[in-house]
Amino acid sequence: MSTIEKALSQMEAAKKSQPPQPEPQNTVERAGVTAPPAQAAADGQRGEASDWQGGAEVYIPFDSLHAQGFLTPAIPRSAIAEEFRAIKRPLLKNASGASPTPIPNANLIMVTSALQGDGKTFSSINLAMSIAMERDKTVLFVDADVLKATAGHRLGIPAGTSGLLDVLRRDAKPEDVILRTNMEKLRVLPAGTADEHSTELLASENMHQFMLELSARYPDRIIVFDSPPLLLTTEAGVLASFMGQIVFVASADITPQHAVKEALEHIGADKMVAVMLNRASRRRMGLFGMGVGYGYGYGYGYGYGGRAEAAEVADQDAARAMNP
């Protein structure tokens, strides 16, 4: 049994040991899906602070996302939904302050990868959706891959929509560009208007203060960032310095060990890092996203240390996937 299979077995045993949770009466109640924009605007959003409601509303195309293999709230019981339930638990535990060692800004969670095509945008959207399906959690999803803004496109946000970069330039206020969605507990901050100085903006004092405000002002909320790949841009390394928790996605049949090791070196040793291994092959799972096969079997290593070991596990599982 491989290291990843052992980890999955342990997670499954832990899930079985937990008492069953009562099911809601219907799918809409569980997922927190709201009516289409016109009706949702009339009904309002319950229990939300006014500064997260000031922006416009975007209607996330859940049918399209489902067709591409994403987790969607309309189908809460699926293989991928179960995987992300297991993945989010330690993240939420830390964000709630229940970790053995306090984690500063633990409600700021960045999802990244070493290279393009490893599945980080797929994973970040699914993670945000899964957390937003919790009864007591509100999620702000930030498209921080400002050069590509792939996540925003997936979520149905028009190109050029004001967002993060506009806030950092002080051309807009956060409450004016955070978008409401047709999922009650999910908000989105788009990448914003393109800027040739995006790296400097992300490394600026404005960004630092904005991150501190997000973490401290909304401690009961989870902010999920879709960041650029660590080895292709400098923005991801800058973003990592502001985060409390980092989810590092590696594709077991694509990402080489040396790339994982090099990418993890861009993350400070003081950061809590979760390594998620995407183990699917193109032959078995089909194509989603940027030509990459995404599967539902994720290995999950968590902690401050062990990054060399995580890279070794990624390489070993990649070899197995390439030579079944």
109 is written with which tokens? 């969670």
145 is written with which tokens? 């891959």
Find out whether 307 and 94 touch, Cβ atoms under 8 Å: no
Comparing C-alpha atoms, which of 247, 130, 105 is closest to residue 186?
Answer: 130
Q: What is the pLDDT along the chain (324 residues), one digit of tens a residue?
A: 443 344 445 444 544 554 444 443 333 333 445 444 444 333 333 344 445 555 789 999 999 999 998 999 888 788 888 889 989 999 999 999 888 888 889 999 999 999 988 889 999 999 999 999 998 899 999 999 988 889 999 999 998 899 999 999 999 999 899 999 999 999 999 999 988 888 889 888 899 899 888 888 877 899 999 999 999 888 888 889 899 999 999 887 788 888 888 998 888 888 889 888 875 443 333 332 322 333 333 344 445 444 544 455 444 544 444 444
Query: Which pTM was predicted?
Result: 0.75
Residues in the chain, total: 324
Is the domain covering 3-8+80-322 a CATH 3.10.290.10 domain? no
The ranges assigned to domains in the chain are 3-8+80-322
Region label for 102, one of left (φ > 0), alpha (ψ between -120 and 50) or beta (otherwise): beta
- Side-chain-side CA neighbours of 161 within 13 Å: the count stands at 25
